[in-house]
């Protein structure tokens, strides 16, 4: 039996799981990651965990200090400004490029994700909020035909996800504003400029929460 495909599938699975934990903020800023603990949790050896962490480090999502010391990095003002700039450059454009591919089914998915997000806020369910917010945005981004653009945006979400969760947990839910309904309306109207504006506004609101909660900036 050829073990290579099995091993490759295992590596992909571990990477995907850790990636999802970062994007949805289940790994918090400053969190120390133990390859041994993660391997035990996931029921695998430490090798695929180390491989996954190496990939995530290359994407800027974790920092590897020593063989046994890996952590989710803290947010700094410089890093915040860099992430915000990149998100504002890429995400509104990705949504606009998706516009010709937005179907009735896609609109239904957007509405469902936004409803899930609202319900999560009412319940105070941060995990569900993060997952629904990710689902909403990437319903747009994955419709556009450029796979590289989507991958670049996913890398940005890997880096700010832990901080968005931190912000959610530390800012009253009443302060969580989004422009999702405006984005859906713009998509249905086929208005690229209004869609860009709605996504940009949503990003600015979310990153503003991070700025206030994580690094004390008034934005």
The share of the chain scoring above pLDDT 70, in percent, equals: 87
Q: Is the pLDDT of residue 6 over 60?
A: no
Region 179-195: mean pLDDT is: 96
Q: Which residue has the higher pLDDT, 134 or 4?
A: 134
CATH number of 77-214: 1.20.120.530
- Give residue 105's pLDDT: 97
Distance, in Å, from the CA atom of 116 to the CA atom of 110, rounded to the nearest integer, reads 10
Helix, strand, coil percentages (3-state) for the chain, rounded to 5, are 75, 5, 20
User: Does the pLDDT at position 214 exceed 70?
Assistant: no
Split at pLDDT 50, 70, 90, the class of 178 is low
Nearest to 158 by CA among 15, 33, 50: 15
The model's confidence at residue 9, banded by pLDDT at 50, 70 and 90, is confident
Query: Residues of the chain with pLDDT > 90: what percent?
Result: 56
pLDDT at 1: 46
Class of the CATH domain delimited by 4-71: mainly alpha
What is the average pLDDT across 179-203? 96
The pLDDT tens digits for 79-101 are: 888 999 999 999 999 999 999 99
Q: Which of 36-40, 110-114, 204-208 has the lowest mean pLDDT?
A: 204-208
Q: Give 29's pLDDT tier (boundaries 50, 70, 90).
A: confident
Higher pLDDT, 146 or 2: 146
Query: Which residues is 71 bridged to in the sheet?
Result: 32, 63
The better pLDDT of the pair 10, 44 is held by: 44
Domain ranges of the chain: 4-71, 77-214
| b/e 154-163 (16+ beta carbons within 10 angstroms → b) | bbbbbbbbbb
Q: Report the alpha-carbon distance of residue 133 to residue 128 in Å, rounded.
A: 8
Q: What pLDDT is attached to residue 172?
A: 47
Q: What is the mean pLDDT of the chain?
A: 87
What is the structure's pLDDT at 2? 52
What is residue 215's predicted lDDT score, i.e. its pLDDT? 63
Q: Does residue 80 contact residue 203 with C-beta atoms inside 8 Å? A: no
């Amino acid at each position: 039996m050829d073990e290579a495909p099995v091993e490759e599938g295992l590596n992909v699975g571990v990477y995907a799981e850790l990636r999802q934990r970062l994007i949805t903020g289940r790994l918090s800023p400053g969190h120390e990651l133990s390859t041994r603990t993660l391997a035990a949790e996931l029921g695998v050896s430490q090798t695929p965990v180390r491989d996954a962490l190496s990939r995530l480090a290359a994407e800027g999502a974790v920092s590897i200090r020593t063989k046994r010391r890996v952590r989710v990095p803290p947010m700094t003002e410089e890093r915040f400004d860099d992430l915000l700039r990149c998100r504002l450059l890429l995400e509104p454009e990705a949504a606009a490029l998706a516009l010709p591919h937005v179907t009735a089914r896609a609109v239904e998915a957007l509405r469902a994700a936004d409803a899930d997000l609202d319900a999560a806020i009412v319940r105070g369910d941060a995990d569900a909020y993060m997952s629904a917010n990710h689902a909403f945005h990437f319903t747009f981004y994955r419709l556009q035909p450029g796979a590289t653009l989507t991958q670049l945006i996913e890398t940005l979400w890997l880096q700010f996800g832990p901080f968005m969760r931190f912000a959610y947990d530390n800012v009253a839910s009443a302060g969580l504003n989004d422009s999702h309904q405006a984005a859906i309306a713009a998509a249905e109207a086929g208005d690229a400029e209004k869609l860009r504006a709605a996504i940009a506004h949503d990003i600015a609101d979310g990153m503003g929460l991070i700025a206030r909660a994580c690094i004390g900036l008034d934005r």
